[in-house]
Amino acid sequence: MGEVGGFLVELGLLLLLLGVLGTAARRVGLSPVPLFVLAGLFLGDGGVASVAATAPFVETTAEIGVLLLLLLLGLEFSAAEFTASMRRHGPSGAVDFALNAPPGYLAGVLLGFPWQACLALAGITWISSSGIVARLISDLGRTAFRETPAVLSVLVLEDLAMAVYLPVLAVLLAGGTPGRAGAGAVLAVAVVVTLLVLVRRFGDHLGRLIQHEDDEQILLRVLGLTLLVGGFSYLLGASAAVGAFLVGLAIPGETARRARAVLTPLRDLFAAIFFLSFGLRVDPTEVLPALPVALALAVVTAGTKVATGWYAARRDGVGRRGRVRAGVSLVARGEFSILIAGLAILAGYTEIGPLASAYVLVLGVGGPLLARGFGRRSVYPVELTPRRAGL
């Protein structure tokens, strides 16, 4: 009973702290994401207080938070809209990789890291944080901005690429052969392609199965399906976040509108815990020595992300201010970068840990602040479809 009581007290204090920080951030016109991350930094290992009682719960809940963030984004778009955008932005994904992965690999080489650690660092600098960017788009009122489909296309292309990159990296870090790495990549691609085909062919049937006059049933059915698809995607070596996004795309029309209404408060709760969890994973005592190199790398790769967003938004005919907004929206790094660093550390490449932690912390906090520095008004407002207008 004592353990249960301690858990409840600690969790209650954490939620109250997040509430206070969220209120303070919104009063000054900021996204609460940086404050949530900093709170985690001060409460984690090496911080000013311990949250050991709630650590396992927070870690699990954080994973659900990422799924809900991507699910709610998927609910904003139809499968046809998004498929067209993905076709158009294949080159954007290629530019994203070409600009953002090499700086990480080169930094590892200059620091004398083994080539496996360099490969991991390339992934860390390449991949944006889907969770942080998704929350920023919502917080800053940019869901319907004309550059937003381009930003989302880049994010999902990255997540799709992670479905191939992560299995290959895990095998190589463990000393596996290129043949085993290739087999893992083929399996991951097969899972993602299967999910995309199912979304396009059976989306209408799925909507009928989920539809119900009771909001409680909508919540339970959509959330259960999202966790199921995300879990199977993860077990099969693909991205659980991609699975959640595709579930959102597959739910049509009025059902999608009602799902957004009932799931938004749940998303906000779980997402706040996710950002707290991100900060909890970083030891402040390891961050400081690696901070100068991390800052230099962050400056370079913030610039390459802005260039990526500029290119992607230009392909959609977005104006200059919208292109810049797209670029700064992509700057933040987060959950996938931490995951990649964790794989490297578990494989014995511990030298990557402090640099990766410092780098992700700098851009996990600095990215949202940079995105907030650009105005809310869209120079070229997007024409809303009935679904995106909430009609």
- Angstrom distance (rounded) from CA 51 to CA 148: 37
Which structural domains are found in the chain, ordered by start?
59-372 (1.20.1530.20)
Indicate if the pLDDT at residue 375 is higher than 80.
Answer: no
Residue 188 tokens read as 């991951």
Q: What is the pLDDT of residue 389?
A: 35
- The confidence score (pLDDT) of residue 4 equals 82
Instruction: Spell out the residues 6+ positions from residue 258 whose beta carbon is closer than 8 angstroms to its own.
Output: 215, 218
The answer to whether the beta carbons of residues 44 and 1 sit under 8 Å apart is no
Average pLDDT over residues 310-319: 91
Closest CA to 295 of 389, 361, 374, 233: 361
What's the pLDDT at 96? 95
The two tokens of residue 95 are 């530019």
Residue type, 179: G
Structure confidence at residue 95 as a pLDDT band (50, 70, 90): very high
Q: Which residue has the higher pLDDT, 182 or 136?
A: 136
* pLDDT at residue number 276: 85
Q: How confident is the model at residue 181 (pLDDT cuts 50, 70, 90)?
A: low
Distances (CA, A) of 96 to 73, 216, 295, 333: 21, 41, 20, 14
Residue 385 has pLDDT above 50, yes or no: no
Residue 384 has pLDDT above 50, yes or no: no
Phi, psi angles (nearest 5°) of residue 379: -70, -35
Provide the token pair at 104.
């990480």
Instruction: Tell the residue number behind the tokens 């490449």, with chain if given.
Output: 349
DSSP 244-311: HHHHHHHS-HHHHHHHHHHHHHHHHHHHHHHHHHHHHT--HHHHHHHHHHHHHHHHHHHHHHHHHHHH
pLDDT for 19 equals 92
Of 125-134, 190-199, 280-289, the least confident:
190-199
In angstroms, the CA 247 to CA 263 distance is: 14
Residue 59, number of CB atoms within 10 A of its CB = 14
Q: Are 248 and 72 in contact (CB under 8 A)?
A: yes
What pTM was estimated for this model as a whole? 0.70
Q: Is the pLDDT of residue 344 over 70?
A: yes
pLDDT-derived band at 118, boundaries 50, 70, 90: very high
Whether residue 81 has pLDDT greater than 70: no
Instruction: Find out whether 244 and 162 touch, Cβ atoms under 8 Å.
Output: no
CB 316 within 8 A of CB 326: no
Taking the C-alpha atoms of residue 133 and residue 148, their distance in angstroms, rounded to an integer, is: 10
Tell me, what's the pLDDT at 345?
Answer: 82
Classify the phi-psi angles of 390: left when phi > 0, otherwise alpha if psi is within -120 to 50, otherwise beta: left
pLDDT reading at 211 higher than 80: no
Most confident of 237-251, 302-316, 326-340: 302-316
Calculate mean pLDDT across residues 315-320.
Answer: 89
pLDDT digits (tens, 9 = 90+) for 8-30: 888 898 999 999 998 887 776 66
Average pLDDT, the chain: 80
Q: Which residue has the higher pLDDT, 287 or 182?
A: 287
Residue found by looking up tokens 């008004």 in the block:
377
The pLDDT tens digits of the residues spanning 229-286 come to 888 877 776 667 767 877 887 787 778 888 888 998 998 888 888 878 877 877 777 7
- Higher pLDDT pick, 174 / 344: 344
